């Protein structure tokens, strides 16, 4: 009897689990290529080097394990921000709860409409950054997403948008297993801000491909929180043109498993990118993984990776971050910091920072630390009358602040700070 | 007000006795000073009163207005009216000085069942007190003690004391590292808080501070004990002759 490799049988099970969307020829071709790539790679497995610290089985098991719904009475995220709002419930847009898809400076379409249109600009971007990002490291769950995601947004930004677009992903079914794929094309000199919040589904797989043209800006603030049993895997692919700016920040709390991949490539000179994250994990069923891969292939670009994780009661945080500087990418300034704050001995922070540099005139630095809370600072605060729990929260917030400071919009940063404070109070 | 009886303290980690039976009675409105050689147990006394971890009380008691201090956690002691100005104030990156002060003031008010101060009320008071200590707005905005000079840290301690309005103030070498003018500022800060009810325990190595803050009683601590107590003249004697004579006298 033939022994089928678990990666391949896992891939076959996953492919069978999702209906393959059918659309225009170009879309079918892209999806077929993605499925071929995925089948060849196989499903991610805990013995894969790239999944060394994170067991992907929750993301690959078929069918997904149910996740109890999490209800709370908190106000919607970003509710004070003037923006266009779109709500997806278990992966399907809820038009009643969404604003009209009209945003000055951008056109917003549904992926399902776009992929059934014979001629559309999206054919040059859909799956493109994702497939570029498969090298040198395989990202099978992103390939699978390109192949089977039938829904998402297709956004073409032509000038400076007057408002952010805020997407809220609602998890409303205990067994929902959702793939969403957004593509965003930002024209020269245009600016776009994307806000995302919500757990999305019992199992949520999202891919975002962002093409940032010369002199364009992309800003991204995302919260993944307060849904204890959800599983999430996200991939954010970005290409940066000359003098472009790319900034992404994610705050995560709760959730059995979160894997956030960011894959950025500098193709133009003098561009700047930041990927940052703050995460607070509580309990031994919390596992959070940030995996970042930044490729410098142009001159005088700056990249920053800033990740902070607070972990307690057996929670696990992972950071895998790589800066690859190709031979021609002179004057690259690459910075990477990852820090874990462990509130007890049962929690874990695992970091794998990597630099791979082929150019000679570069300034790259990376650092990774793990530590406990500063008892002297705690005592100092307590001696002034601040109760221990509150004092600890203050120090935790202070620790995470450095990542939150990477958000350059003050209102959004304050929103994030307030929400984090509230989340820490409620758990 | 503060009553310490036969206080004996060991380190938690190792079998080492630091305080070997301290007795100290500080009445309402009184100012006491403690002097003594390095390592004699002055800071330890202040830490044990404030509730720092790492020490084991093996005998004795410490009460503030009849309340057993040793039975409370540090924040309860603070709310009960105890304040310690640290010999080495801690830097806390990421926590704004102002946020910290307001949190502390309101936490204590809440613990005592009083109304919390609004942001406006708080700001008004803190500005006024900071001004008299020559603490500028920038220092209030910065993270707690981060990048403060030695003297700035000490003035920041006094600002906290002024904001918290404790009943019993313990100052551990608040004068060390201060220039002459800053020393006067700090002393004025302390004297401004003397209202006939509030009491002070001033730990110092130098007579100079005591010129400004006139103590009622001066104690000499050595090797975990108070070996001699007297009036302000005791501090002058130490300044003149050091501790040798006093140590010899009691030996
Ligand atoms: N946590 C500790 N671990 C080890 N030794 C300690 C600890 N705390 C205090 N000691 C010891 O206890 C003794 C008293 O220390 P303490 O700091 O109270 O002295 P002090 O009178 O304040 O001295 P100084 O005038 O130098 O400030 C010293 O010998 C010190 O080394
Ligand atoms: Mg001392």
Handedness of CA A406, A407, A408, A413 (dihedral sign): negative
- What residue has token string 């030996």? B251
Task: Say which residues have a Cβ less than 8 Å from residue A262's Cβ, sequence separation at least 6.
Answer: A235, A236, A238, A248, A275, A290, A291, A292, A293, A294
Interatomic CA distance for residues A60 and A56, integer angstroms: 6
How much is the average pLDDT of A333-341? 97
Atom of ligand 1 lying closest to residue B42 CA: 21
A–B: how many Cβ contacts below 8 A?
Answer: 80
Burial of B68 (0-12, 13-18, 19+ CB in 10 A): exposed
Residue ranges of domains in chain B: 2-92+150-250
Residue A205 is predicted with a pLDDT of 98
Interatomic CA distance for residues A280 and B107, integer angstroms: 24
Using the predicted structure, report yes or no on whether residue A175 has a pLDDT greater than 70: yes
Chain B residues close to A380, C-beta within 8 Å: 86, 89-90, 92, 144
Closest residue of B to A404, CA-based? B94
Q: What percent of chain B has pLDDT over 70?
A: 100
Ligand 1, atom 26, lies closest to the CA of B38
Residue A79 is predicted with a pLDDT of 87
Cβ–Cβ under 8 Å, residues B39 and B85: no
pLDDT tens-digit series, residues B195-239: 999 999 999 999 889 999 999 999 999 999 999 999 999 999 998
Alpha carbon A107 to chain centroid, angstroms: 23
Q: Which residues of A touch B (CB under 8 A)?
A: 374-377, 379-388, 390-391, 394-395, 397-399, 401-402
H helices present in A287-374, as ranges: none
Residue A427 is predicted with a pLDDT of 67
Q: What spacing in Å lies between the alpha carbon of A347 and ligand 2's midpoint?
A: 36
Q: What spacing in Å lies between the alpha carbon of B43 and ligand 1's midpoint?
A: 7
Residue A197: cis peptide before it, omega within 30 degrees of 0: no
Write out the DSSP string of A97-110.
GS--SEETTEEEEE
Q: What is the mean pLDDT of chain A?
A: 95
Residue A190 is predicted with a pLDDT of 98
pTM (2 d.p.) = 0.89
Residue ranges of domains in chain A: 6-373
Cβ–Cβ under 8 Å, residues A407 and A287: no
Backbone angles phi, psi at B247, to 5 degrees: -60, -40
Q: CA Rg, chain B, in Å?
A: 18
Chain A residues close to B153, C-beta within 8 Å: none
How much is the average pLDDT of B122-129? 93
CB atoms within 10 A of CB A206: 27
pLDDT class of A5 with cuts at 50, 70, 90: confident
Complex ipTM more than 0.90, yes or no? yes
Cβ–Cβ under 8 Å, residues A255 and A232: yes
**B88 within ligand 1 shell (Cβ under 6 A):** no
Using the predicted structure, report yes or no on whether residue A90 has a pLDDT greater than 60: yes
Q: What angle do CA B216, B195, B199 make, to 5 degrees?
A: 45
H-helix or E-strand spanning residue A248: strand A245-253
**B34 within ligand 1 shell (Cβ under 6 A):** no
Interatomic CA distance for residues A158 and A140, integer angstroms: 32
Beta strands of chain B (E only): which ranges?
2-11, 17-26, 31-35, 55-64, 67-68, 82-85, 92-96, 143-144, 168-172, 199-203, 217-222, 225-230
Task: Say which residues have a Cβ less than 8 Å from residue A252's Cβ, sequence separation at least 6.
Answer: A223, A224, A225, A258, A260, A277, A278, A279, A280, A281, A288
* B177 or A356, greater pLDDT: A356
Using the predicted structure, report yes or no on whether residue A359 has a pLDDT greater than 60: yes
H helices present in B194-232, as ranges: 207-212
Residue A422 is predicted with a pLDDT of 86
HSE (side-chain half, CA atoms, 13 Å) at A296:
35
* A188 or A425, greater pLDDT: A188
Q: Is B121 on the interface with A (CB under 8 A)?
A: no
Class of domain B2-92+150-250 as given by CATH: alpha beta
Q: Is B117 on the interface with A (CB under 8 A)?
A: no
Cβ–Cβ under 8 Å, residues A97 and A87: yes
Interatomic CA distance for residues B87 and B157, integer angstroms: 10
Q: Is B114 on the interface with A (CB under 8 A)?
A: no
* Helix, coil or strand: residue A278: strand
pLDDT class of B33 with cuts at 50, 70, 90: very high
Using the predicted structure, report yes or no on whether residue A1 has a pLDDT greater than 60: no
Q: What angle do CA B57, B62, B68 make, to 5 degrees?
A: 100
Residue A4 is predicted with a pLDDT of 66
Interatomic CA distance for residues A64 and A177, integer angstroms: 7
H-helix or E-strand spanning residue B123: helix B119-132
Q: What percent of chain B has pLDDT over 90?
A: 81
How much is the average pLDDT of A198-214? 97
Residue B155 is predicted with a pLDDT of 92
Q: How far is A308 from chain B (nearest CA, A)?
A: 13
Q: Is B120 on the interface with A (CB under 8 A)?
A: no
Q: What angle do CA A77, A81, A87 make, to 5 degrees?
A: 50
Q: Report residue B210 as tokens.
A: 């005591």
**B207 within ligand 1 shell (Cβ under 6 A):** no
pLDDT tens-digit series, residues A6-27: 888 899 999 999 999 999 999 9
**B108 within ligand 1 shell (Cβ under 6 A):** no
**B44 within ligand 1 shell (Cβ under 6 A):** yes
Chain B residues close to A374, C-beta within 8 Å: 90, 92
**B174 within ligand 1 shell (Cβ under 6 A):** no
* B208 or B85, greater pLDDT: B85
HSE (side-chain half, CA atoms, 13 Å) at A343:
22
CB atoms within 10 A of CB A113: 11
Q: What is the mean pLDDT of chain B?
A: 93
Tell me the residue length of chain A: 427
* Helix, coil or strand: residue A424: helix
Atom of ligand 1 lying closest to residue B41 CA: 18
Instruction: Please judge whether A380 and B92 are an interchain contact, meaning their C-beta atoms are less than 8 angstroms apart.
Output: yes
Closest residue of A to B97, CA-based? A381
Interatomic CA distance for residues B95 and B188, integer angstroms: 28
Selecting from B89, B94, B104 the residue whose C-beta is nearest the C-beta of A385 gives B104
Interatomic CA distance for residues A102 and A117, integer angstroms: 20
Cβ–Cβ under 8 Å, residues B203 and B213: no
Torsion angle defined by CA atoms of residues B160, B164, B169 and B172, in that order, rounded to the nearest 10 degrees: -20
pLDDT tens-digit series, residues B38-55: 999 999 999 999 999 999
Chain A residues close to B93, C-beta within 8 Å: 398
Interatomic CA distance for residues B162 and B126, integer angstroms: 9
pLDDT tens-digit series, residues A366-396: 999 999 999 999 999 999 999 999 999 999 9
- What residue has token string 């502390």? B104
Residue A99 is predicted with a pLDDT of 95
Interatomic CA distance for residues A384 and A381, integer angstroms: 5
pLDDT class of A2 with cuts at 50, 70, 90: low
How much is the average pLDDT of A404-417? 93
Residue B136 is predicted with a pLDDT of 87
pLDDT tens-digit series, residues A124-135: 999 999 999 999
Torsion angle defined by CA atoms of residues B102, B107, B113 and B115, in that order, rounded to the nearest 10 degrees: 20
Cβ–Cβ under 8 Å, residues B217 and B33: yes
**B40 within ligand 1 shell (Cβ under 6 A):** yes
pLDDT tens-digit series, residues A237-252: 999 999 999 999 999 9
Residue B245 is predicted with a pLDDT of 86
Assign residue A5 a region (left: φ > 0; alpha: ψ between -120 and 50; beta: otherwise).
beta
Alpha carbon A359 to chain centroid, angstroms: 29
Cβ–Cβ under 8 Å, residues A6 and A45: yes
Interatomic CA distance for residues A15 and A22, integer angstroms: 14
Terminal-residue alpha carbon distance, chain B: 31
Interatomic CA distance for residues B100 and B119, integer angstroms: 13
H-helix or E-strand spanning residue A312: strand A302-312
């Amino acid at each position: 009897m033939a022994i089928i490799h678990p990666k391949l049988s896992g891939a076959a099970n996953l492919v069978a689990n999702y209906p393959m969307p059918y659309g225009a020829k170009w879309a079918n071709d892209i999806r077929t290529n993605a499925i071929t790539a995925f089948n060849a790679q196989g499903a991610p497995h805990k013995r894969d080097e790239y999944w060394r610290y994170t067991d992907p089985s929750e993301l690959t098991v078929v069918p997904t394990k149910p996740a109890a719904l999490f209800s709370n009475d908190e106000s919607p995220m970003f509710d004070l921000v003037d923006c266009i709002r779109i709500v997806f419930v278990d992966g399907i847009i809820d038009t009643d709860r969404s604003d009209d898809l009209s945003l000055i400076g951008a056109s917003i379409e549904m992926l399902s409409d776009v992929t059934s249109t014979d001629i559309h600009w999206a054919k040059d971007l859909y799956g493109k950054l994702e497939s570029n990002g498969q090298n040198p490291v395989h990202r099978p769950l992103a390939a699978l997403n390109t192949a089977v995601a039938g829904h998402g947004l297709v956004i073409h930004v032509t000038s400076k948008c007057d408002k952010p677009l805020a997407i809220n992903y609602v998890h409303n079914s205990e067994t929902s297993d959702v793939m969403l794929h957004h593509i965003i094309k930002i024209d020269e000199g245009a600016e776009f801000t994307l806000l995302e919040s919500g757990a999305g589904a019992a199992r949520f797989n999202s891919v975002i491909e962002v093409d940032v043209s010369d002199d364009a800006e992309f800003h991204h603030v995302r919260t993944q929180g307060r849904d204890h049993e959800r599983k999430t895997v996200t991939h954010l692919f970005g290409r940066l043109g000359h003098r472009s700016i790319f900034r992404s920040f994610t705050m995560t709390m709760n959730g059995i498993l979160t894997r956030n991949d960011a894959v950025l490539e500098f193709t133009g000179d003098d561009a700047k990118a930041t990927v940052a994250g703050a995460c607070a994990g509580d309990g031994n069923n919390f596992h959070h993984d940030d995996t970042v891969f930044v490729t410098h292939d142009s001159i005088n670009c700056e990249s920053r990776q800033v990740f902070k994780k607070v972990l307690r009661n057996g929670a696990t945080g992972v950071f895998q971050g790589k800066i690859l500087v190709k031979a021609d990418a002179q004057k690259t300034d690459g910075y990477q910091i990852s820090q874990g704050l462990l509130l007890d001995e049962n929690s874990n922070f695992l970091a794998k920072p990597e630099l791979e540099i082929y150019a000679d005139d570069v300034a790259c630095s990376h650092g990774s630390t793990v530590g406990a809370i500063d008892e002297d600072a705690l005592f100092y605060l307590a001696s002034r009358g601040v109760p221990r729990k509150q004092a600890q929260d203050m120090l935790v917030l202070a620790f995470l602040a450095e990542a939150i400071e990477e958000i350059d919009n003050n209102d959004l940063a304050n929103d994030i700070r307030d929400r984090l404070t509230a989340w820490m109070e409620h758990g | 007000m503060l009553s310490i009886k036969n206080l004996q303290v060991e380190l938690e980690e190792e079998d080492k006795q630091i305080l070997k039976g301290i007795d100290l009675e500080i009445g309402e409105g009184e100012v006491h000073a403690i002097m003594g050689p390095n390592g004699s147990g002055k800071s330890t006394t202040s830490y044990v009163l404030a509730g720092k971890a790492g020490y084991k009380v093996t005998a004795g008691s410490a009460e503030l207005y009849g309340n057993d201090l040793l039975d409370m956690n540090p924040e309860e002691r603070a709310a009960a009216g105890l304040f310690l100005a640290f010999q080495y104030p801690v830097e806390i990156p990421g926590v704004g000085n102002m946020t910290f002060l307001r949190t502390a003031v309101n936490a204590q008010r809440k613990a005592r069942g009083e109304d919390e101060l609004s942001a406006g009320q708080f700001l008004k008071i803190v500005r006024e007190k900071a001004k008299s200590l020559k603490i500028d707005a920038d220092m209030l905005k910065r993270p707690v003690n981060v990048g403060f000079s030695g003297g700035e840290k000490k003035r920041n301690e006094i600002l906290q004391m002024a904001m918290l309005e404790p009943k019993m103030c313990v100052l551990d070498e608040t004068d060390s590292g201060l220039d002459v003018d800053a020393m006067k500022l700090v002393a004025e800060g302390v004297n401004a808080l003397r209202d006939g009810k509030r009491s002070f325990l001033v730990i110092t190595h130098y007579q100079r501070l005591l010129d400004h803050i006139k103590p009622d009683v001066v104690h000499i601590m050595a090797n975990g004990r108070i070996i001699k107590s007297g009036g302000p003249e005791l501090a002058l004697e130490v300044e003149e002759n050091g501790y040798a004579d006093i140590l010899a006298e009691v030996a």
